[in-house]
Amino acid sequence: MPEQPIDPKRLKTVRDNVIRYVYEHGAGQYAWGVKRDQVKSALGITEHDLRQAYMVMREQGFTPDYGPIDVIGLNQRGQEEAVRLGTATAMHEPATPSQIIIDAHYCVFCTEDIESAKAFRDRFATGESTYQVEVEDTVNTHAGNYDALTDAHQGAFVDTSVATAKSYWTGAPTGIREILVGGTVKVSIKIE
């Protein structure tokens, strides 16, 4: 027996809520996604409702063309739609910093000291907050050569990208040490 469509007004509400939830809980960055079961549980919707909403999102061009089947993700158009809806904010900020725990899908980018974090913020994220984080000893980290990326010499992209990547991953950091954390961090203090 074919699935029965849900009421168009309810479908729009479900679609909007799915877009907002995914954007707020991991898809604020391109190609990040949220597990389908997490979306259903958080929004209190059925698999049927989620499937119908996802089909609309696909038809409207809001989801990536690839990715695991058990994950709902947003592409750039989907993120723009979440912003247009007006009530979503990517990776929302809880009331107190101690409630923030970031479980990275890939890695978290940090600096070793507050001065470096402020320098990064002032150059690339003006107006954003700076936080001190705690990293468990068992989590893998790597100190990347941040200056290799930010002070890269201009030239043909192919010629410079290989040298830049090599310097970032294998070179000794010459200025700011960008620490890549391959796991969970806990925000302990909001600096400013």
- Does the pLDDT of residue 99 top 50, yes or no? no
- Starting at the earlier edge strand, list the strands of the sheet with 177-181: 108-111, 177-181, 141-145
The predicted pLDDT at position 123 comes to 81
The predicted pLDDT at position 2 comes to 63
What is the average per-residue pLDDT within 147-155?
63
- Does the pLDDT of residue 148 top 70, yes or no? yes
The predicted pLDDT at position 93 comes to 45
The predicted pLDDT at position 46 comes to 94
Give per-residue burial for 115-149: e unless 16+ CB within 10 Å, then b. ebbebbbeeeeeeeebbebebeeeeeeeebbbbbe
Least confident window among 1-5, 50-54, 138-142, 169-173: 1-5
What pLDDT, in 10s, does the model give residues 102-145?
A: 544 557 788 888 888 888 888 878 888 888 888 888 777 888 87
Confidence band (pLDDT; 50, 70, 90) for 92?
very low
The predicted pLDDT at position 44 comes to 95
Most confident of 48-57, 78-87, 126-135, 174-183: 48-57
Rg of the chain, C-alpha, whole Å: 20
Confidence band (pLDDT; 50, 70, 90) for 83?
confident
Identify the structural domains of the chain with CATH numbers, from first to last.
8-85 (1.10.10.10), 97-190 (no CATH)
